[in-house]
Structure 1
Amino acid sequence: MTTTHGTTTARFGGVGEVFRRNVASGEELGASFVVDVDGERVVDLWGGFRDPARTAAWEEDTVVNVWSITKTVTSLAALVLVDRGELDVYAPVARYWPEFAANGKRDVEVRHLLSHTSGVSGLEQPAVLEDLYDTRGAAARMAAQAPWWTPGTASGYHLLNYGHLIGELVHRVTGCSLKRFVAEEIAGPLGADFQVGLAEADAGRVADVVPPPPLPFDPAAAGTDSPAYRTLTGPSATAEAANTPAWRAADLGAANGHGNARSVARVLSVLARGGRADGLRLLGERTIDLVFDVQSDGADLVVGLPVRRGIGFALPKRETAPWIPDGRIAFWGGWGGSMIIADLDRRTTISYVMNRMAPGILGSDRSAAYVRAVYDGLS
């Protein structure tokens, strides 16, 4: 029997109806969904199954690979260092990482890494997924590369290497790996059940991801020298890789964060609530304003979608995600449809993660329906 658990306040009853319907129909295999309004968890739902055979229930503490939602936590880590005065988004990356200046990248700034406009969106060939598991070795290879387009002129999604680039900056500034910094400076103090990677001790409560249909475009169509093709093959990755011990053990700040809707909301509520959560201050107002400093606005060279990017996060663009309203909102999604939205105007955080991946690149029919129901409740 498929069941759902958790609570919703009366104001957000419509969210619960959509969630329960999707779980009951099998549209969702397993999922969790949270809405936090200024520190109050007004929606906290989970249900379904961890596995395609439907033998293991999705429990309250189930975690799953959240794909590119990981990037928002990685961005937050960088912004914490900015707020402490240890990192300047307008400084050259080479100030902190001298080797990065090689091959015409001397003027690439930290903000370019954070906004996917650096021109370094993957590994030069030859490249296989296992190369990324050597986090610092892969970062050194990226530092030696020439950019694949003129830095700062357009975004090209840093699909799998975002965490290598930002993580190396974190390491150069603090001496800590990104994985350790997130654990000790963000997730730990917030009491959030979120990890970059997955501890072996937690393997018994992780939900395997169920791959989506193939991507709706052929990267080779743009030419084998295009940023799209070079990124998507540098290296190639399948969704099934996320279910392997090697992937789960790695430090991949672009794509292998593990958590659930509750823990992701807990972390990103810091942004929605003005930099603080329950007395813990991570960001100040000036640092938060940087998120809304638009760095690019147009078709992304890798995924092809029109995206408006600030520093570290995407910003609303009706053309791409019409179900996200305008305003001081920072968001991003994970492959398959998971979503995190920090709405500063409403001090609201919306978090959705699941294991059965939907088709598409950003969001899904399911995530759109949930988010619309949330904003109906907020209106």
Structure 2
Amino acid sequence: MTQHLQAPRMELPANVRGAADPNFACAVRAFAAMFPGRRFGGGALAVYLDGRPVVDVWTGWSDRAGQVPWSADTGAMVFSVTKGLAATVIHRLVDRGLLDYDVPVAQYWPEFGANGKAAITVRQLLGHRAGLTHLRGVSRSDLMDHVSMEARLAAAAPGPERGKPAYHALTYGWLLSGLARSVTGVGMRELFRTELAGPLNTDGLHLGRPPADAPTVAAEIIMSQRSRRNRVLDLMAPRAAARARYGGLGAFYFPGVMGTVRGDTPFLDTEAAAVNGVATARGLARLYGALAHEGQIDGTQFLSRRLVDGLSGRHTLELDRTIGIPLAFHLGYHAIPFGPVLPGFGHAGLGGSVGWADPDSGLAIGFVHNRLLTPFVALDQGAFVGSAALIRRGVALARRHGYAPVPHLGEQFPQRDTAVG
């Protein structure tokens, strides 16, 4: 058993705030080097080991002007990391007997059975095998109405990718939201609070923009704010998306897509549980810390051990019909299928934010930032591997020498709202 020490915490690099166990000094220095100046934005890294925090650090700036420092409660729009959070909501409902992985979705959500979808199971929905990847020409205003999007997908016919792995880049969130609403009567924004943030006792997990009185504040996205229209692109992109039989551009593109993440990030003002979560690194690390520690965190059984044991099941290595590479999905989380570079499972997001669990080592990682630089999830995964190697080195040192958990930083979940529905 690893010894828990009372050793002093490491001296952090300049401009880095928080706390870290000294075994993770290399990982923290590498994290700090990612944000060398004001124009590079900011971010946070949190690491849990055996369900206890050993790294909780942040640095840089949360606004485009480089005037507002990243704080203990700054969150980032984590894009597809949101999918892992939404899948965890579904697992909580399965754990309580409200859903079953191998029962057809239509048994819980009758409208979903339309147009030949009656046999699609919850497991297939979680695994991106429902054949509903294509946005089918919806407008930006359509996508901002989450209830309407749930109804559209319930009525839609599956495409030729049904039964095969095909990344549901945007539709995934409305599919899981519609399923969850059918058995709870409430939307996914509220379920993020009652099924995730409340039981984990953190304010650092939100779907969409955090409420005005919440401690968590969404950082501005660092990207070009130029909105000058390209007439050729405006003409060709919708046609190319419409012609795709499934996946590809048709899974990602809608008119005005870039405008939804510029300025004040309009996409945060809806419930799009595939992409618009706002999370702190700490919030992600606490969630995946429970998944890496037999479902427990701070004495709370967040998910049953039986269910958590099933989350590490076999991940498919079939080529994904949307992305073109294996994404190795299992029950809503993906692995990294390119050798043993990062064991475990979790979810990466556009730009490089990550939530990750490795139950075999007891390690969990949350990493968020506000730079939108990397265009594809596969590249985001690859960029994280180097940092993850240093974190895993820290775990090895901690097992050899013992480690000292750091204090719980950041705001807890508001006590007046802790009832789980």
Work out which of the residue numbers 298, 303, 310 in structure 2 matches 1:283: 303
C-alpha change, 1:239 and 1:160, in structure 2 (3 Å) is: farther
Work out which of the residue numbers 160, 166, 172 in structure 1 matches 2:176: 166
Q: 1:231 Cα shift?
A: 1.2
Mapped contact 2:47–2:54 kept (Cα < 8 A): yes
Query: Higher relative CO (CA 8 A, sep ≥ 6), structure 1 or 2?
Result: 2
Q: 1:62 Cα shift?
A: 0.9
Q: 1:68 Cα shift?
A: 0.9
Task: Determine whether 1:349 maps to 2:364.
Answer: yes
Q: 1:183 Cα shift?
A: 0.4
Q: C-alpha root-mean-square deviation of aligned residues, in Å?
A: 2.6
Alpha-carbon distance in structure 2 between the residues aligned to 1:256 and 1:131: 16
Work out which of the residue numbers 258, 275, 281 in structure 2 matches 1:261: 281
Question: What are the residue-to-residue correspondences of 1:1-379 with 2, within 5 Å?
Answer: 3-24=15-36, 28-125=40-137, 127-152=138-163, 154-192=164-202, 193-201=204-212, 202=214, 205-211=217-223, 220=240, 224-233=244-253, 237-238=257-258, 240-241=260-261, 243-244=263-264, 246-294=266-314, 296-318=316-338, 323-325=341-343, 329-362=344-377, 363=380, 366-379=383-396
For the residue of structure 2 that corresponds to 1:251, the secondary structure is coil
Mapped contact 2:284–2:365 kept (Cα < 8 A): no
Mapped contact 2:260–2:266 kept (Cα < 8 A): no
Alpha-carbon distance in structure 2 between the residues aligned to 1:251 and 1:222: 24
Mapped contact 2:43–2:369 kept (Cα < 8 A): yes
Q: 1:366 Cα shift?
A: 5.0
Q: 1:13 Cα shift?
A: 0.7
For the residue of structure 2 that corresponds to 1:64, the secondary structure is strand
Q: 1:345 Cα shift?
A: 0.7
Deviations 1:179-222 (Å, cap 9, x if unpaired)?
11120122022112211112341599321112389xxxx99499
For the residue of structure 2 that corresponds to 1:20, the secondary structure is helix
C-alpha change, 1:331 and 1:122, in structure 2 (3 Å) is: same
Mapped contact 2:221–2:261 kept (Cα < 8 A): no
Alpha-carbon distance in structure 2 between the residues aligned to 1:281 and 1:80: 11
Alpha-carbon distance in structure 1 between the residues aligned to 2:242 and 2:325: 14
Match of 2:318, as an amino acid? G
Gaps of 5+ in 1: none
Alpha-carbon distance in structure 2 between the residues aligned to 1:39 and 1:281: 11
Match of 2:199, as an amino acid? P
Mapped contact 2:316–2:326 kept (Cα < 8 A): no
Mapped contact 1:296–1:309 kept (Cα < 8 A): yes
Deviations 1:271-320 (Å, cap 9, x if unpaired)?
1111121222232233223323446322211122222111111123116x
Q: 1:224 Cα shift?
A: 2.7
For the residue of structure 2 that corresponds to 1:36, the secondary structure is strand
Q: 1:225 Cα shift?
A: 2.5
Worse overlay, 202-211 or 86-95: 202-211
Match of 1:311, as an amino acid? L
Alpha-carbon distance in structure 1 between the residues aligned to 2:107 and 2:156: 17
Gaps of 5+ in 2: 1-13, 226-236, 397-421
TM-score normalized by the length of structure 1: 0.89
Match of 1:260, as an amino acid? T
C-alpha change, 1:204 and 1:107, in structure 2 (3 Å) is: closer
Alpha-carbon distance in structure 1 between the residues aligned to 2:375 and 2:269: 27
Alpha-carbon distance in structure 2 between the residues aligned to 1:30 and 1:221: 34
Worse overlay, 134-143 or 236-245: 236-245
TM-score normalized by the length of structure 2: 0.81
Alpha-carbon distance in structure 2 between the residues aligned to 1:207 and 1:253: 18
| Runs (4+) off by over 6 Å | none
Mapped contact 2:44–2:368 kept (Cα < 8 A): yes
Match of 2:198, as an amino acid? G
For the residue of structure 2 that corresponds to 1:169, the secondary structure is helix
Match of 1:233, as an amino acid? Y
Mapped contact 1:211–1:240 kept (Cα < 8 A): no
